[in-house]
Amino acid sequence: MIRTVESPPPVSAPVLAAYGYCETVTGQQARNFAYGIRLLPTAKRRAMSALYAFSRRVDDIGDGALDGEIKSARLEDTRALLTRVRAGEVEEDDTDPVAVALAHAAKAFPIPLGGLDELIDGVLMDVRGETYETWDDLKTYCRCVAGAIGRLSLGVFGTEPGARGGDRAPEYADTLGLALQLTNILRDVREDAAGGRTYLPADDLAKFGCSAGFDGPQPPEGSDFAGLVHFEVRRARALFAEGYRLLPLLDRRSGACVAAMAGIYRRLLDRIERDPEAVLRGRVSLPGREKAYVAVRGLSGLDTRHVSRLAGRRQL
Ligand SMILES: CC(C)=CCC/C(C)=C/CC/C(C)=C/COP(=O)(O)OP(=O)(O)O
């Protein structure tokens, strides 16, 4: 069962500084997720920033310019650090602020830290240059790099006591992570291709004549690129619909955080659906004012009430 911890332990000056570092990383680098994280009360916001900063570090190793062997070794160093966090071996005066903040967050909230091992496993798949034959194969990767983040975040949020169906919350959080990751893969298709990576399943690419890959602002000749994008958008929408069942299980501000994160990505998906080739021309993004609007909407509980109504009418 997932507990909500009401009063986290008091925060010492070194831990406060460590959280401050993680919040700066989050504010500067989480161009989309920071809007949701900001809506949380202090202790949860700090814990989410610690999770973000650790995940960012893992991701940056994967995306960096080093060669594969060095990346793998660095990822294993990060795993060793995680083992120290889990064993309670990271002291408050450790020189690594991300480790200090994560260790504190893991004491304050029941965060299933094994999810960070999964994230490292997923980034190692990237480093090995794995490609995916089918959606089931890609799903395994997405569970590691995004489903796990959903389940870790749920450890911070907790579920509302007595919420009906609360035991399914980890499954919904995982599915929401998949929805976000598939959207991210569609958005970054050109950038990933430039970096030599293809995430979309080979059998989908073949079905729409896109096996030649995406190396320019135009779709591969003779392909049905828009058909491919619309097919993946439908898949992502179904994942969003399932993952949104998480919202009524959360307290108001955690629900607002998730609604903001998911809402911003859903709007990215809308834009991609309207103009599929935009993802080949550059990075599709939302203006800051639109992200702020989605965050305010999340806080007003509109999305949560909408999902509850649909569930009540058995339309979800
Ligand atoms: C329950 C819950 C909270 C579920 C959501 C889980 C979650 C936040 C998954 C993240 C997956 C994802 C698309 C990461 C990309 O980060 P990025 O830094 O590359 O994103 P950006 O490029 O859009 O800034």
- Mutating to test ligand 1, I would choose from 33, 38, 182 the residue with most ligand atoms within 8 A of its C-beta, which is 33
Q: How far is the CA of 221 from the centre of ligand 1 (A)?
A: 32
CA distances from 262 to 105, 184, 230, 315 (A): 23, 12, 19, 19
Atom of ligand 1 nearest to the CA of 262: 5
Pocket of ligand 1 (CB under 6 A): 30-33, 146, 149-150, 153-154, 173, 176-177, 180-181, 184, 246, 258, 261
The Cα 63–Cα 53 span in angstroms is: 15
Q: How far is the CA of 222 from the centre of ligand 1 (A)?
A: 33
Q: How far is the CA of 181 from the centre of ligand 1 (A)?
A: 7
What pLDDT does 315 receive? 63
Average pLDDT by stretches of 10, the chain with 316 residues: 56 97 98 97 98 98 95 98 97 97 97 98 97 98 98 97 91 98 98 94 97 90 96 98 96 96 97 98 96 92 74 63
Q: How far is the CA of 314 from the centre of ligand 1 (A)?
A: 29
* Closest C-alpha residue for ligand 1 atom 2: 150
* Closest C-alpha residue for ligand 1 atom 12: 181
What pLDDT does 1 receive? 46
Q: How far is the CA of 175 from the centre of ligand 1 (A)?
A: 12
